[in-house]
Amino acid sequence: MDLGHLRCFKVVAECQNMVKAGEILHIGQPAISKIIKNLETEFTLQLFDRRGKNIVLNQNGKILLSYANTALIAMDNAKLELSDIKNSTETGKVRILMKVLAFYLPDIVAKFKQRHPGINLEILQHGDANDWDICIDASLEKLSAQDYYNLLEEEVYLVLPKDHRLAAKEQVQLKEFADDKFIGMFDDSSVNNITKFYCNKAGFEPEMAIKSETNTMFREISSLGLGVAFVPQFVYDAIHSECIVKKSIGNPPCVRYVNVFLKKNKYPSNAVILLKKFLIDYFQDDERFNNKK
């Protein structure tokens, strides 16, 4: 058994489908079947239950997967740390998962590359991405864990079309929108979490009439009178127009916290540490964010 076999087993265990695992690993199915058979021979135990053409990870396989994950993480971390020792200069690659504030991503990347040209960045924006080094995400409460750093706190507005029945009202309460249709994103998004959390707190379940992949669609859909949307203040700054109006919700107050954190159990390379420091400085020093805290 070697690490290559463990990596193959891990992918098969996660997919529970040898054809799909072969596509991911770029290995033919016969080779994958042989690796799995060799592992089962070595441990003298079946790792999968065969059900027709399908395979299901059994209890033996779950135990091996737990140890395989530990071993593979340890080896990947060793490679990263040894690479840091070998390359004392500012080089390397960082995979950044940016779930929020994507509007500012081009400026962040440009300024970081200007300061650290030898570090390559890979940008991820899908919430289900798993292979990343550093993440920017939002929470509804201020996180105090040591692994998290709070970059900023921002108010969350309710955005309405200009001809909405409450558009001219100076102060609004969230409960007044119980019968409105809401515009949201997909289920794991910060906007959806905000919408459900605060509407539930105000005593009603929001009707998510439209879901969009991007925040920019909020402006267009709202302006057509198709719904209202929760929009964080720094997102609103990037998408505002004369077609929509924003309303502060006083009761309950709506805020979110934007945080940066590193992948748990993954060795933070020099490049990752430099990017984290840059992100903290970026949000602390930029007047766009400091003037609104």
Query: In this predicted structure, what is the pLDDT of residue 225?
Result: 62
pLDDT for 221 equals 64
User: Which residues of the chain are in CATH 3.40.190.290 domains?
Assistant: 153-256
Whole-model pTM: value is: 0.66
CATH fold of 153-256, please? D-Maltodextrin-Binding Protein; domain 2 (3.40.190)
The pLDDT, as a whole number, for residue 218 is 62
Listed in order, the ranges of the chain carrying CATH 1.10.10.10 are 3-86
**Residue 144: what pLDDT?**
73
Per-residue model confidence (pLDDT) at position 222: 63
CATH 3.40.190.10 positions along the chain are 92-149+258-290
Architecture of the 92-149+258-290 domain: 3-Layer(aba) Sandwich (3.40)
For domain 3-86, say whether CATH 1.20.1440.230 is its number: no
Q: d(Cα 173, Cα 251) in Å, to the nearest integer?
A: 6
Look at residue 110 in the predicted model and tell me its pLDDT: 94
pLDDT at 74 (0 to 100):
81
**For every one of its 293 residues, what pLDDT tens digit does the chain have, with 9 covering 90 and above?**
688 888 898 989 888 888 888 888 888 888 988 999 989 898 898 999 988 777 899 999 899 998 888 888 788 878 777 777 666 667 788 999 988 888 888 999 999 999 999 999 999 876 556 789 999 998 888 887 677 898 988 889 988 888 899 988 888 889 999 999 998 876 667 888 888 888 998 899 998 887 776 666 666 666 666 788 888 888 888 777 788 888 888 766 788 999 999 988 888 888 898 999 999 999 988 777 775 54
Taking the C-alpha atoms of residue 195 and residue 181, their distance in angstroms, rounded to an integer, is 11
pLDDT at residue 179, as a whole number = 93
**Looking at residue 293, what is its pLDDT?**
41
